[in-house]
A and B are shown apart, each in its own frame.
Chain A
Amino acid sequence: MYAQALDQKDKAPSRIEDPVKLAAFEAHCAADDKIEPKDWMPEAYRRTLVRQVSQHAHSEVIGMQPEGNWVTRAPSLKRKAILISKIQDEAGHGLYLYSAAETLGVSREELNDQLLAGKAKYSSIFNYPTLTWADIGTIGWLVDGAAIMNQIPLCRTSFGPYSRAMIRICKEESFHQRQGYEAVMVLARGTPEQKAMAQDALNRWWWPCLMMFGPPDAVSEHSETSMRWRIKRFSNDALRQKFIDATVPQAHFLGLTIPDPDLRFNEASGHWEIGAIDWDEFKRVLAGEGPCNRQRMKVRRAAHENGAWVREAALAHAEKRARRKQAAALQAAE
Chain B
Amino acid sequence: MSEAAMPLYEVFIRPKAGLSHKHVGSLHAADDDMALNMARDVYTRRAEGVSIWVVQSKLIAASDPVDKDMLFEPTASKVYRHPTFYDIPEEVGHM
Contact = CB atoms under 8 A, between A and B. Distances in A.
Contact of B34 (A99, A102, A312, A314): A314
A242 interface: no
Interface stretch (A108-116, A139-147, A233-241, A252-260): A108-116
B5 A107 contact: yes
A229 B10 CA distance: 28
B45 A109 contact: no
A101 B25 CA distance: 12
B30 A314 contact: yes
B3 A318 contact: no
B27 A315 contact: no
A39 B34 contact: no
A329 B1 CA distance: 37
Given A39-B65, A99-B26, A318 B2 contact: no
Interface string A85-127: 1001100100110010010000111100100110000000000
A264 interface: no
A321 B34 CA distance: 13
Nearest to B2: A109
Interface in B79-95: none
A317 B65 contact: no
Nearest to B4: A315
Interface in A157-180: 164-165, 168, 172
B94 to A, nearest CB: 36
A314 B28 CA distance: 12
A102 B41 CA distance: 20
B3 A88 contact: no
Given A107-B5, A113-B2, A315 B30 contact: yes
Interface string B19-55: 0000011111111001000000110011000000000
Q: Which residue, A117, A168, A315, has most C-beta atoms of chain B within 10 A?
A: A315
B8 A102 contact: yes
B45 A92 contact: yes
Contacts of B8: 102
Contacts, number: 59
A162 to B, nearest CB: 12
A38 B64 CA distance: 8
Given A92-B45, A99-B26, A168-B25, A311 B3 contact: yes
A120 to B, nearest CB: 13
A99 B2 contact: no
Contact of B27 (A38, A95, A164, A308): A95
B61 interface: no
B6 interface: yes
B35 to A, nearest CB: 10
Contacts of B30: 311, 314-315, 317-318
Nearest to B28: A108
A116 B1 CA distance: 9
Interface in A24-41: 36, 38-40
Contacts of A165: 25
A117 B1 contact: yes
Contacts of A95: 25, 27, 42
A311 B27 CA distance: 14
B93 to A, nearest CB: 41
Contacts of B3: 109, 308, 311-312
Interface in A209-258: none
Contacts of B26: 99, 102
Q: Return the 5 tightest CB-CB contacts between A and B, nearest first.
A: A318-B31, A314-B30, A318-B30, A99-B26, A38-B65
Interface of B: 1-6, 8, 24-31, 34, 41-42, 45-46, 62, 64-65
Interface of A: 36, 38-40, 85, 88-89, 92, 95-96, 99, 102, 107-110, 113, 116-117, 164-165, 168, 172, 308, 311-312, 314-315, 317-318, 321-322
11 contacts: A85-B45, A88-B41, A88-B45, A99-B26, A99-B27, A102-B8, A108-B28, A109-B2, A315-B6, A317-B31, A318-B31
